Amino acid sequence: MENHSSQEGNGSGMTLEQAVNALHTLQAKMQQIEQERERCDAKTEEDTPETSLPLAQALWDTQVPHNFKIPHLPTFDGKTDPLEHLMAVGTQTAIIGAEEHLKCKLLSGTFKDAALRWLTAV
């Protein structure tokens, strides 16, 4: 009597032992992929600064005039028209004659809630 290790009629031609080996191979590959993903996640965390600076470092490095008084500016939470907010902040900063780097710093300080979360994610 012949011992057929493959199941005839199902068309797969794979024995139980081969299926188990294939499963082990897939599990090993999945483990390798998971380890690589964890390494990539760890590298990404290392590359991400502790505090997120949405503006270019050069803007943060520029000095604010010693006698500068911060004007009252409207806040933006993402629920109103962003262009209207930009125009309002632009008008206020133009009135005081703020330089471009200062306008950027002041604008970033007007964001709150969803708008602030968006800005820090940029």
Q: Each residue of 81-94: pLDDT tens digit? A: 999 999 999 999 99
Question: Is residue 67 very low, low, confident or very high in pLDDT (cuts 50, 70, 90)?
Answer: confident
Q: Read off the DSSP letter of residue 111.
A: B
> Quick one: 37 exposed, middle or buried, by C-beta within 10 A (0-12, 13-18, 19+)?
exposed
In the numeric block, which tokens belong to residue 32?
């390798």
Q: Looking up tokens 């943060």, which residue turns up?
A: 60
In the numeric block, which tokens belong to residue 69?
């008084």
Distance separating alpha carbons of residues 69 and 121, to the nearest angstrom: 29
- Computed over every residue of the chain, the mean pLDDT equals 80
Provide φ and ψ at 72, rounded to 5°.
-75, 120
Alpha helices in the chain (DSSP H): 16-47, 57-61, 82-95, 100-108, 113-121
pTM for this prediction: 0.50
Question: Is residue 69 very low, low, confident or very high in pLDDT (cuts 50, 70, 90)?
Answer: confident
